[in-house]
Structure 1
């Protein structure tokens, strides 16, 4: 197997992983009852509006990271979405650190790294 084929498969796996993860987060934030969310994420109890806004942002990002490349119309949108995911993960990390929840930012950092990988591959 050629290196470029392996890289191509890895890129698509990263996009699909990030998209599915963001879609899961969006569905949790938008469709789960507040009590259920509060058990998993205690901060959601005091910040219901923030939960809804971030749920919508997660859903848009899930679509934007994958759909443009699938329909090959505006694949540059995937690049812009990846930049948006990085900004979202930075803000999420700052939010958690400000609440004394620094131990919870591992997933944010991981998603940020996946988005950076997508950007790196798009700019090659």
Structure 2
């Protein structure tokens, strides 16, 4: 189970560090081509989502790696799953139901990570 966790957690961490980092560091104009929803969400909220994604990625990797507060890995995975639920809501409200496949895949992966992380407890 530990190997499965590390595979899922590493993939999620890479994705969220990249996506969250973009939300943290890029301007609204730079984000718009890839994330059209940034026009409807205030930039402080976009930045907060980015920060939560980066922190969630760290929460997936650092606690099990260090052996300190390993329960935080479960919390991080659940938090990332909740971010995807919010993403699905935003996309559906914008009439973009065809683009929620990535959100659903990330939601499932985060759920799997949360379940696999219980092995650390």
State the SS of the aligned residue for 1:39. Answer: coil
Name the counterpart of 2:105.
110
1:65 and 1:123 map into 2 onto residues whose CA distance is 12
Moved over 4 A (4+): none
SS at match of 2:107: helix
Using the alignment, how far apart are the partners of 2:118 and 2:58 within structure 1?
Answer: 20
Number of residue equivalences:
118
**Is there any run of 5+ residues in structure 2 with no aligned partner, and where?**
none
- Alignment partner, residue 55 of structure 2: 60
Under a length normalisation based on structure 2, what TM-score does the superposition of the two structures give? 0.89
Partner residue, 1:99: 94
Residue number in structure 1 paired with 2:13: 19
CA 1:123–1:70: 2 relative to 1, 3 Å: closer
Partner of 1:3: none
Q: Please identify the structure whose Cα radius of gyration is greater.
A: 1
Q: CA deviation at 1:113?
A: 0.8
**Relative contact order, CA 8 A, sep 6+: which one is greater?**
2
Give the TM-score, by structure 1 length: 0.87
Where does 1:23-62 land on structure 2 (aligned, <5 Å)? 23-47=17-41, 48-62=43-57
RMSD of aligned residue pairs (Cα, Å): 1.4
Distance 1:36 1:82 in 2: 28
Distance 1:51 1:92 in 2: 11
Partner of 1:119: 114
The one-character-per-residue Cα deviations of 1:55-78 (angstroms, maximum 9, x if unpaired) are 111111111111111111111100
Contact 2:5–2:117 (8 Å) recurs in 1 = no
